[in-house]
Amino acid sequence: MKKVTVKCPATVANLVCGFDVLGMCLEDPADIMEVFLLNENKVIVRSADGYPLPEDPAQNTAGAPLLEMLKEIDNNIGFEVLIHKKIKPGSGLGSSAASAAGAVVAANHLLDNRFSTLDLLKFSMFGEKVASGVKHADNVAPCIYGGITLIRSIHPLDIVELSSPPMYVTVVHPQIEVKTSDARQILRKEVQLKSAIRQWGNIAGLVAGLLKNDYQLISRSLEDVIIEPVRSMLIPGFEQVKTGCIEAGSLGGGISGSGPSIFMLNEKKESAFRAEEVMSKVFSEIGIEYKTYVTQINPRGVELVDNN
Ligand code: HSE
């Protein structure tokens, strides 16, 4: 049976000020997915680690994008997916995006890359719809493209790949689950004009800072006056982590995606490890289990690790 294995990285959506429009791909953690080509029109998704998965592939974050892909193929083929999950669902690290993006990139390899990257992104967003009820691309786009991406628009899809200076990323994942759908529901539907002005100033500043390799501008722009004040209430220790890490030398950071993970960007490796110490101290004191990562920006996105 024809098969490929792909590595599907974690992602940080929003990058603090860019709700639904900015996302970054990480080196660590990453899922592994094995995808097999079937000679009948069906999609099967299985977990290698015993995670309970919905039986109906249309209700699965890897299955739904593959069903969309199959709609555009005449041949009588299908896919079987085996997921080795390392990115915990509900962590805010793009777990559903890794499954969705990994499935379509792997399937495309099995089909001799007949679909474009933009097609793959379009399919993978159906996985996000299953996971959170909304088609957002700020995890799937960086997961497929790698690096940092700006989602200028999803209707029509318009993705801008942003260059950035080298940075170390420190992440803490407190072991509590926050569902993206819940974290979206608590948001206010209207935004005050003065908050919007501050927010789009920060988004523009962050994009400019990334492109100009200006660490100080990046640091000043890592501010969210709209989403963070609401969502941070779901994350015990959030303020202590953020303040402590910035005091320890981080450029800034905030909630990763819809949380509960928190990430910090760092110019220097030393401050990335100091941020990890701060995070560990805060969650040890609060008494919540946690996992930390000191990692870097992954410029490659989903990648083939084996095609046998
Ligand atoms: N932009 C989305 C949100 C990302 O914050 O709801 C979810 O991972």
> Is the CB of 91 within 6 Å of ligand 1?
no
Output the pLDDT for position 206. 98
Is the torsion defined by CA of 140, 146, 150, 155 positive or negative? negative
Distance CA 281, CA 299 (A): 31
pLDDT per residue of the chain (308 residues) written in tens, 0 to 9: 899 999 999 999 999 999 999 999 999 999 999 999 999 999 999 999 887 778 789 999 999 999 999 999 988 999 999 999 999 999 999 999 999 999 999 999 999 999 999 999 999 999 999 998 888 999 999 999 999 999 999 999 999 999 999 999 999 999 998 888 899 999 999 999 999 999 999 999 999 999 999 999 999 999 999 999 999 999 999 999 999 999 999 999 999 999 999 999 999 999 999 999 999 999 999 999 999 999 999 999 999 997 66
Residue nearest to atom 8 of ligand 1 (CA): 257
Q: Are residues 201 and 154 in the same domain?
A: no
Q: Do 153 and 173 fall into the same domain?
A: no
Residue 180 annotated among the catalytic residues of the structure: yes
Of 129, 136, 224, the residue with max ligand 1 atoms within 8 A of its CB, to mutate for a pocket test, comes to 136
Place of tokens 């490796």: 269
pLDDT of residue 120: 98
Q: How far is CA 116 from CA 4, 41, 74, 107, 119, in A?
A: 18, 22, 17, 12, 5
Q: How far is Cα 115 from Cα 98, in angstroms, rounded to an integer?
A: 18
Q: Indicate if 248 and 214 belong to the same structural domain.
A: yes
| Per-residue buried b or exposed e for 144-164, using 16+ beta carbons within 10 Å of the residue's own CB | bbbbbbbbeebeeeebeebeb
Q: Residue 44 has which token pair?
A: 């099967």
Atom of ligand 1 nearest to the CA of 13: 4
Atom of ligand 1 nearest to the CA of 14: 1
Residue 207 lies in domain? 168-296
Count: domains in the chain: 2
Task: Say which of 149, 180, 267, 276 is annotated catalytic.
Answer: 180
Q: What is the predicted pLDDT for the residue at 114? A: 96
> Domain of 25: which CATH number?
3.30.230.10
Ligand 1: which of 154, 178, 184, 227 to mutate, most ligand atoms within 8 Å of CB?
184
Q: In this structure, are 140 and 190 located in the same domain?
A: no
Closest CA to 121 of 155, 82, 77: 155
Measure 136 CA to ligand 1 centroid, in angstroms: 7
Please confirm, yes or no, whether 11 is among the known catalytic residues.
Answer: no
**In terms of domains, do 143 and 274 share one?**
no
Instruction: State the amino acid at position 113 in one-letter form.
Output: N
Could you tell me if 28 and 64 lie in one domain? yes
Alpha carbons within 13 angstroms on the beta-carbon side of residue 70 total 22
Q: Based on the domain organization, do 125 and 146 belong to the same domain?
A: yes
Predicted pLDDT at 274: 98
Work out which ligand 1 atom sits closest to the CA atom of 256: 8
